Amino acid sequence: MSSLVRDIADEYMHALAVREPSAALALGRPSPARALADLSPEWLEERYALQGGVLDRLAALPADAPDAVLRAALAERLAGDRALFDTGFTMRLVAGLATPVHLVLGSIEGLAIGDDAAGRAVLERLEAGPAAVREYMRSLARARDLGRAGRFTGTGVASARQIRILADQVAGWVRSDYFAGIERAVDLSPAVAARADAAAAAMTAALSELVGFLRDELLADAAEDDAMGEAVYATMAASMLGSPIDLDEVYGFGWSELERLVALSRELAEQLGGSGGDPVRSAAALLDADPRYRLEGIEAIVTWLRRRVAESVDVLGAEAFDLPPTIDDVECVVSQASAGVVYYTPAPPDGTVPSRIVWTVPSGLPVAATWQEVTSVHHEGLPGHHLEHTVNRANADLHPWQRYLCEVHGFAEGWAHYAEALSDELGLIRDPAERLGMVLGQIWRSVRIVADIGMHTGRPIPPTTLTAETSWTPALARTFLEDYAMVEPDLARFEVDRYLGYPGQALAFKVGAKLWSEAREAWRARRGPDARLADFHREALALGPMGLAPLRALLLAD
């Protein structure tokens, strides 16, 4: 049944669908008006105004209008998006692996050009790529001009560090002629092959223009200082979490957790045979060589991954969740890359590609150590991202905007990090070795809190046994990641560069989990001692993706 709130959301989605393929797909349109999202400054400003109009219409509705959940989610998200735009971040976005040009790459990467409908869609996105790159360049130039005119509360140009990183990345794609190497079907017709050649050449030319623009024009207006400052950082953190926070309280929480977890990691390491001045690294070396935790070969890794996912389904369905029947619809995949990481990709609305849990392992002999990555499997799979996405997609009561387009870092990453601790609570973390891996992951997320807030707001380092330094630098943040979370140096450098380029997003994980846990405890206190964990999870996830502030308010409403 329609309502005024749903009508407003419908109209908003239809307006988005003209410029953004993701909205068209969410509406069930198999052929979007555009192959790639509009990256132009005209659309970014038009969308900002459109969001303001939606907020005005929602505010004018009676307080008791139906669809209060959709109204709360939509109002918070659009207000958060507009606040982010007002800092200048949306239009000037330059950050490692998170720029619009990376989204262009991601729409093509790993897919094949072919003569069938799916293959032609890949080609159409490649052909649309050059125009998208030039739209992005115009947005960066427009942000610079608006920044000079004082339109933003922050800067209109990203920091010099971020511009150099992106320029170097894109220059690498140009040197390698990356887009000419996009996979093609074996029996590709000559006509389509010719189109692919022309599109790849045009894409390389557009990217060359982008490198020149970044280095020769935009860099001149960029500051060497990466810090956002207190006011802008607070706005960005609130937008990422979907909830305002007290930065002093969160900074103190991050330090308290970091010191607690580092001590716990050393205690666990000594139980596992670690010794010397660095028992954690010593224990890690023993565990990496232990055949109980060592997998060799793709088949062994995939088998282990499938088994752990299946076992998680059994435990979660028995104790903590009412699982939808589609929970098993996920592929477990091993991909060989230069560095190991586990990640999740949800199925698109049309279901043409399945949801996947992907474990990348170093190229060459595929070897993986389960003790350190099992917590990532729970974060990305069950009860983390895959469970949350599957529940959302199975909930036909949610509006399509909420099911497919509402993205709140604190909701999604906070849930996935909450899921890591929940896995331990439910016995899915099986022994001290796997628990050490989980704790190292939590240390990593704790470093994110203190380093991100410290570098961007200038908060001093409190007295601690972890360092004698009193102020944050990128080098110190890298050292914390390497020394206490055992993050590899190259990944630590990437991580810190990401924090500097995407302020506040790093809080989504552990601070998001904190807000999820606090909502759970408040809900339990309200419901009484007999309240079931499964009931909390059902009620919370049934609300759908939204900012963490409205989530808590709705959970605790009469």
Q: How confident is the model at residue 319 (pLDDT cuts 50, 70, 90)?
A: confident
How much is the CA Rg of the chain, to the nearest whole Å?
Answer: 24
pLDDT value for 282: 98
Beta-carbon contacts of 102 under 8 Å, excluding residues fewer than 6 positions away, are none
Pull the structure tokens for residue 223: 């500051």
pLDDT(228) > 80: yes
Mean pLDDT of 461-484: 98
Q: How far apart are CA 452 and CA 327, in angstroms?
A: 35
524: its two tokens = 């339990």
Residue 262 has pLDDT above 80, yes or no: yes
Residue type, 545: P
pTM confidence score: 0.95
Q: Considering only 106-115, 276-285, 548-557, which range has the smallest mean pLDDT? A: 106-115
Q: What is the pLDDT of residues 72-88, one digit of tens each?
A: 999 999 999 999 999 99
| Phi and psi torsions of 253, nearest 5° | -60, -45
Give the pLDDT confidence score for residue 334 in this predicted structure: 87
As a whole number of angstroms, the distance between CA 478 and CA 498 comes to: 12
The terminus-to-terminus CA distance of the chain in angstroms comes to 24
pLDDT of residue 465: 96
The model's confidence at residue 483, banded by pLDDT at 50, 70 and 90, is very high
d(CA 411, CA 14): 25
Q: What percent of the chain has pLDDT over 90?
A: 89
Phi, psi of 84 (to 5 degrees): -65, -45
Query: Is 60 exceeded by the pLDDT of residue 337?
Result: no
- Indicate left, alpha or beta for 544 from its phi (over 0: left) and psi (-120 to 50: alpha): left
Structure tokens at 252: 């103190």
pLDDT of the residue at 232: 97
pLDDT at 95: 86
Sign of CA dihedral 132, 138, 144, 145: negative
pLDDT value for 2: 60
Statement: residue 527 has pLDDT above 50: yes
* Cα angle, residue 311 at apex, residues 307 and 314 outer, rounded to 5°: 145
pLDDT at residue 223, as a whole number = 96
Rounded mean pLDDT of the chain?
95
pLDDT at 96: 74
Alpha helices in 88-229 (DSSP H): 100-106, 117-148, 160-176, 190-216
Burial class (CB in 10 A: 0-12, 13-18, 19+), 208: middle
Say what the pLDDT of residue 340 is. 63
Which is more confidently placed, 33 or 351? Answer: 33
Angle subtended by helix axes 533-542 and 510-527, to nearest 10? 120
The enclosing H or E element of 358 equals strand 355-362
What confidence tens digit (pLDDT) does each residue in 10-69 have?
A: 999 999 999 999 999 999 987 788 999 999 999 999 999 999 999 999 999 999 999 999
**Sheet (strand 341-345) strand order:** 330-337, 355-362, 341-345
For residue 360, the SS3 value is strand
